[in-house]
Structure 1
Amino acid sequence: MNKNSKLISGFVACLALVACDGAAPPQGEEPTVPSVSSAPVGPPDTEWVLHGNDVGEQRFSTLDQINRDTVDQLELAWSFNLYTRRGVEATPLMVDGTLYVTGSWSMVYALDARSGELKWFHDPQVDRAFLAKGCCDAVNRGAAYADGRVFVATYDGRLVALDAGNGEVLWDVQTTDRNQSYTITGAPRVVKDRIVIGNGGAELGVRGYVSAYDQKTGEMAWRFHTVPGNPADGFESDAMAMAAKTWTGDWWKWGGGGTAWDSMVFDPELNLLYIGVGNGSPWNAKLRSPEGGDNLFLASIVALNPDTGEYVWHYQTTPGETWDYTATQHIIMAELEIDGTPRKVLMQAPKNGFFYVIDRTDGTLISAEPYVNVMTWASHVDMETGRPVETENARVFDGKNVSLPGNAGGHNWPPMSYNPELGLVYIPTLELPMVYLEPDSDLYAEPGRGMWNTGFDRAPNILPEVPDTVINAEVEELYKGQVVAWDPVAQKRVWAEPMERPTVGGTLATAGGLVFHGGKDTYMTAVDAESGDVLWSRDTQTSAWAAPMTYAIGGEQYLAIAAGFGGGLASEASAAAHGWEIPNISRVLVYKLGGTHELPAVPDYQRPLVKPDAVSANDAVVEQGKVLFHRHCAMCHGDSLRGGGVTPDLRYANEAVHSSWQEIVLGGALEKRGMISFSEFLSETDAESVRQYVLYGANRLYNDLNPGPQG
């Protein structure tokens, strides 16, 4: 007997008891029992307590009130506008009728899960100047919950515990050195009685690590560094001594990198914590480790003892990482039948383009196959060594040779999901190539120079043409994203849903036979989990790249997503995002069957482009301004003056901005808004040359928009 049948039987039994205990029915009339089949029982209250819903972070929900047959009735139940206009990347939590969601600048909102009413709000007061210490917008990917406490990691490197009932700060600890370029955008993870958090900053010369803190007190329990430091200072562990043997030169002077900025998952059965480790600092391996070496634990999955933080095992996806091929992408735990034998596995689709199935007991590679185009850098993964077999030109960085995937990866931060009933993983993929150019000096590699220390000149960061010989015929078009349904046992693509643009939102799989995701222009979409057919779509009025989640309360299933254009693609990859004209309307959107809420019309955020002043400098000065702009400004304001999405498009700068240019660029007049002073790196002459380059771009845009005799 299923659960609904038990409820119905119990209801009938209760009616019988009432009839026996009450008055008898009138003579000649038969007692009647109301029909219960016409009033189906809704789903039981179902929470979403962990970051990925279940322990394995599969992002699969057993709720099925919203299914293939009913999804066309799914409409907006309520919405809540967040208090900022930057990127939103969080997966909300739902505990005891409250939705906990984080927004940009690490703000936390507690909302009534049925109505969207604000219960409390916490602003950690992040210093906006920290924006210059990060790579990809002031985003946050979510909170953690345990024992009546909500935990959030802040952009400026703190870990904060809040009372889940009222938002009161219980403790607040600094996890990073505020004088270095550390930031935190990832969600903390609950690991027994501790909270574990990593950090970011590998683009700006830091050394990565993860730390565990006591839930009740905030006292640090342990710390594991992901790359070795200066040997003269001694190594923190045997693992660091082992890792140091895979590095050469004075790597520690460059920072090393290896920041664990996103994915972690805890296996309570095996008592292992798995962390995904990021790219090198600088990216260019020839500079940080000139005589070669695998550079452990860059681009690796590392298993740790969660009680002590001690190393257990590792698997490196990209030895000698040099393309920004991080292994920080979502890790899923599952049990798969491989060759007739059940195996406890980890599954990951890291940036390098290969889908990995790894035995999570010991790190043994089970299988690895490309889920996107990879032929420009590797032909396959050698199953004996576990290493990718690189192509002849994989490490040719002449500004012409194309790398695919590019540094955005075949899969970036938006989480994938897994339907254990169908055995399919749903991956948000990218097909976005890039060219790298090695500079003549170490300028682009030294930390503290007011720019990313990638070791590559980013000036030619445009969308390159890709040779037909390296294109996989299954991929319809480059420069676009796809949701790919992947069979992890057969290691093959089952179906793919193409996007309009080179982006895809995180995915949610449900027992209703659906996969939900955003990122298709400004739409939230549901597709059939078996076929990929689009079954439902609604306009969110902005980009929704975070992963959706679902919960049930009061007999109704709800679908929730936090939306808002921004993040790395908008802030520093404007060559790909150019011309999108997507507004940032940061909000939480919650749907249910038969919802009646409507969104207001989209406000007009576009500023008018007034006719700019003429360029008053010669071509050499403008060209110098272009070089300086791409070194210091493009990461926020957009490559090639194409606008940064969430940061001001400088081509629209008005007379007030131009007249205050030196005060802004060198004097730090807008530091409280995130625009720090660059006086340490630029002279007045340099700043003026950048302004002339901006005027050059503004005039070109104005003439394009106003064709005629003046153009």
Structure 2
Amino acid sequence: MKTHLLGMMALGIALTACNGKKQSDAGSPAESKASAAASVDAARLTAADSEPGSWMSYGRTYDEQRFSPLKKISTANVNGLGLAWSYKLDVDRATEATPVVVDGVMYVTGAFSIVSALDPVTGKELWKFDPQVPRDKDRDGCCDVANRGVAVWKGKVFVGAYDGRLIALDSKTGQKVWETDTVIDHERSYTVTGAPRVVKGKVIIGNGGAELGVRGYVGAYDADSGKLLWRFFTVPGDPSQPAEDKAMEMARKTWSGDTYWKFGGGGTVWDAMAYDPDLDLLYIGTGNGSTWNRQVRSPGGGDNLFLSSIVALKPDSGEYVWHYQTTPGDSWDYTATQHIMLADLTIGGEKRKVLMQAPKNGFFYVLDRATGKLLSADKYAPANWATHVDMATGRPVESEVADWSGKMQVISPGPLGAHNWQPMSFNPQTGYVYIPMQEALGAYVPDPKQTFSGKGTWHMGSQPLALPENPEELAGIAALHKGHLIAWDPIARKEVWRQDHVTVWNGGTLSTAGGLVFQGTADGRFVAYSADKGEKLWETPANTGVMAAPMTYEINGEQYVTVAAGWGGAFPLVLGGLSEPAKVRASARVLTYKIGGTASLPALQPVAANLPEPPELTGSESEVAQGRDLYNGHCGVCHGISAIAGSVLPDLRYLTPEKHSLFNGIVAGAYAAKGMPSFTGTLSAEQVDAIHQYVIKRAHDLKADLAKASTAKAEAKP
């Protein structure tokens, strides 16, 4: 097998988006309820099951189970589902939000953190808020300019803007109430993509950016004023300064040297959170190290707390209570930021309050959520980096291939993970957890000499790799990346059923009391399965790849199912050559279904596939080779490794003669307002020329490949 596999996750480059504007529709049913809009408090969130028709927070309930008690849509009538309405989002990029529906209004976000308030019966827009994130800010983030949703509390809607601001909006008008900057150092590449949570009047939000060199933390802000109430750092800071608290004193003992501080350390809290009101504990999941390679960031070894960990905190103060580290000394980008959910399970005849997670590393964990004690850890996906988890120590037993500090290793899972951010769900009726599972490889090549090179630059301690440029080899690599929906029994500790998908990067899941599991797919379908056996009962085209998790609600006695559909994220941006089997384009919409729905989606506009005549290749072989390495190190995270884009951002092989003539100016920042950041000061003129020659070379390669395919097709005709 060729060793041209992924070595990095994705960084976005933005398209121009419509400016946000406040709109109103005085005659809408939702507007008539404006006086009570989003009047959510602790009592309502804690008792969310008493309002099954609402979906008041990201995971519906504080336990984040993503299970709905609604059952008017069931296995008996799901075939009657039809589209009720659709709503076009502004930016056709990564669409990852779960809408919130409460008090007759839907609140949903799209790329660049744009918030829309909609009538959930008709889909009519009530208002829209665009935080005006600079479009070239996307260079500072990993994995596209996504936003996963909002939180609501006492008449306010809270959104984390991509550039690090936390913003409170009036739920009735969309007007800004307050705004606070959550970023501690603007010389570092901090971003926010996760959905906030509100606990006891405190808005909780973390951040992303570990690959680009930041220090992770989570903060709590007063819901009324936006004032910072507490901040919990996940990795130690400057070793020449005192530790912030006892948790950081403990963590510092597990790191060595001071290189980690120069790289930021990582450990970002960019997604998963859950809250137990009875125990009064907030649970967070932390991310990978900066750099990935532990030998670079912490050359003396160590567990490097609290990387890739589940941490329990007191929500009033942010005080540390306990932690469990899923991947000690993580060197593989095995984040524990994946979905955390809480449940009460009978294990060994004893009722246990548990926490469950299926992080990137391929093991499904069940913990006692009061103490953090490990109850079980079992492989739910192929994982060659460890043989098992030692139940006596709670630590994974690493295999020989896990160590890539001295030579390249092909490891599973790769950086895409066995399960990424796409939420799983738990059905208490079946007892199963429904996981968007992935089979994905990674080739890790040590780069021990890497140093911190500033904002907007990836730091992994691994050399950037190329996908094969030969179409046949590329197809072979793509075939090794597989996606599945699996039902996992956390008590029996085994897979119960699975559905296979076309490729990885499929949507999150929703389970319901109607005996159903809903999931969108990378190849543009929205599907319902039976929760007990996994039988496919219904599907409909979504006209784009679906990554977000669906949700459901009920209004005036009628149940609706909604999913935010739109292609993007790490897989299609970075690994366009591997995402090709999905054969979808980006088209961001909110899709809402009901029994008897008769609406239809607008036809997709065809993507122009004509290849312009590429310029003459004038670069030498060595210049093109230099350009390939520079392209994969600086451009591939947006426009696709090996210059093969994934239908989200422009494929540079298709540049027009005009764009080729402007190439140097575009790289210097001429299109910054459109989302193409300036590389002035990062790349020299000679390096830009080398990249351009590589792009031209790849255009000529594509021209030859298309001609070869056309000839083969003609010869195949009878």
TM-score of the superposed pair, with normalisation by structure 2: 0.89
Letter in 2 for 1:296: L
Residues 710 and 624 of structure 1, relative CA distance in 2, 3 Å threshold: farther
CA RMSD in angstroms comes to 1.8
Residues 45 and 188 of structure 1, relative CA distance in 2, 3 Å threshold: closer
Instruction: Confirm whether residue 693 of structure 1 aligns to residue 655 of structure 2.
Output: no
Name the counterpart of 1:14: none
Per the TM alignment, residue 560 of structure 1 is displaced from its structure 2 partner at its CA by: 0.2
Per the TM alignment, residue 151 of structure 1 is displaced from its structure 2 partner at its CA by: 0.4
Residues 178 and 645 of structure 1, relative CA distance in 2, 3 Å threshold: farther
Letter in 1 for 2:358: A
Structure 2: distance between partners of 1:522 and 1:502:
12
Name the counterpart of 2:452: 446
Q: Residue 305 of structure 2: which of 282, 285, 296 is its match?
A: 296
Structure 2: distance between partners of 1:393 and 1:139:
33
Matches within 5 A, 1:389-404: 389-396=397-404, 400-404=408-412
Letter in 2 for 1:256: G
Matches within 5 A, 1:33-52: 46-52=53-59
Work out the percentage of aligned pairs sharing the same amino acid: 51
Per the TM alignment, residue 600 of structure 1 is displaced from its structure 2 partner at its CA by: 1.7
Matches within 5 A, 1:505-524: 505-524=507-526
Letter in 1 for 2:411: S
Letter in 2 for 1:530: D
Per the TM alignment, residue 184 of structure 1 is displaced from its structure 2 partner at its CA by: 0.5
Q: Residue 567 of structure 2: which of 553, 565, 568 is its match?
A: 565
Q: Residue 627 of structure 2: which of 600, 607, 625 is its match?
A: 625
Name the counterpart of 2:672: 671
Name the counterpart of 1:458: 464
Give CA deviations for 1:127-147 in whole Å, capped at 9, x if unaligned: 112111001110000100111
CA contact (8 A) 1:278 1:299 kept: yes
Structure 2: distance between partners of 1:520 and 1:512:
25
Structure 2: distance between partners of 1:246 and 1:240:
10
When Rg is computed on C-alpha atoms for both structures, the one with the higher figure is 1
CA contact (8 A) 2:519 2:527 kept: yes
Q: Residue 72 of structure 1: which of 75, 79, 83 is its match?
A: 79
Per the TM alignment, residue 706 of structure 1 is displaced from its structure 2 partner at its CA by: 2.7
CA contact (8 A) 1:44 1:555 kept: no
Q: Tell me the secondary structure at the aligned position of residue 246 of structure 1.
A: coil
Name the counterpart of 1:239: 247
Name the counterpart of 1:386: 394
Instruction: Confirm whether residue 230 of structure 1 aligns to residue 231 of structure 2.
Output: no
Instruction: Confirm whether residue 658 of structure 1 aligns to residue 660 of structure 2.
Output: yes
Q: Where does structure 1 lack aligned partners over 5 or more consecutive residues?
A: 1-42, 465-476
Instruction: Confirm whether residue 170 of structure 1 aligns to residue 171 of structure 2.
Output: no
Instruction: Confirm whether residue 432 of structure 1 aligns to residue 433 of structure 2.
Output: no
Q: Residue 162 of structure 2: which of 155, 173, 186 is its match?
A: 155
Q: Tell me the secondary structure at the aligned position of residue 400 of structure 2.
A: coil
Letter in 1 for 2:249: A
Name the counterpart of 1:274: 283
Name the counterpart of 2:100: 93
Instruction: Confirm whether residue 503 of structure 1 aligns to residue 512 of structure 2.
Output: no
Q: Residue 327 of structure 1: which of 331, 336, 339 is its match?
A: 336
Structure 1: distance between partners of 2:88 and 2:670:
29
Name the counterpart of 1:22: none
Letter in 2 for 1:542: T
Name the counterpart of 2:365: 356
Give CA deviations for 1:257-302 in whole Å, capped at 9, x if unaligned: 0000000111111011000000000000000010110000000000
Name the counterpart of 2:269: 260
Residues 460 and 698 of structure 1, relative CA distance in 2, 3 Å threshold: closer
Structure 2: distance between partners of 1:563 and 1:609:
29
Letter in 1 for 2:327: T
Name the counterpart of 1:318: 327
Name the counterpart of 2:139: 132
CA contact (8 A) 2:52 2:70 kept: no
CA contact (8 A) 2:528 2:539 kept: yes
Letter in 1 for 2:59: G
Structure 2: distance between partners of 1:493 and 1:463:
37
Residues 190 and 710 of structure 1, relative CA distance in 2, 3 Å threshold: same
Per the TM alignment, residue 462 of structure 1 is displaced from its structure 2 partner at its CA by: 6.2
Structure 2: distance between partners of 1:269 and 1:430:
34
Per the TM alignment, residue 393 of structure 1 is displaced from its structure 2 partner at its CA by: 2.2
TM-score of the superposed pair, with normalisation by structure 1: 0.90
Give CA deviations for 1:33-65 in whole Å, capped at 9, x if unaligned: xxxxxxxxxx98711001101121100001111
Structure 1: distance between partners of 2:420 and 2:483:
11
Name the counterpart of 2:541: 539
Name the counterpart of 2:215: 207
Q: Relative CO higher for 1 or 2, CA cutoff 8 Å, sep ≥ 6?
A: 2
Residues 579 and 525 of structure 1, relative CA distance in 2, 3 Å threshold: closer
CA contact (8 A) 1:86 1:565 kept: yes
Per the TM alignment, residue 579 of structure 1 is displaced from its structure 2 partner at its CA by: 5.4
Give CA deviations for 1:212-250 in whole Å, capped at 9, x if unaligned: 000010001000000000121211101101100000011
Matches within 5 A, 1:590-609: 590-609=592-611
Q: Residue 339 of structure 1: which of 331, 344, 348 is its match?
A: 348
CA contact (8 A) 1:259 1:279 kept: yes
CA contact (8 A) 1:703 1:710 kept: no
CA contact (8 A) 1:450 1:678 kept: no
Q: Tell me the secondary structure at the aligned position of residue 414 of structure 1.
A: coil
Q: Tell me the secondary structure at the aligned position of residue 408 of structure 1.
A: coil
Letter in 1 for 2:464: R
Structure 1: distance between partners of 2:329 and 2:491:
28
CA contact (8 A) 1:558 1:591 kept: yes
Q: Residue 62 of structure 2: which of 52, 55, 59 is its match?
A: 55
Give CA deviations for 1:481-538 in whole Å, capped at 9, x if unaligned: 1111000011100001110112221000000100000015100000010111100000
Residues 578 and 451 of structure 1, relative CA distance in 2, 3 Å threshold: farther
Structure 1: distance between partners of 2:347 and 2:166:
40
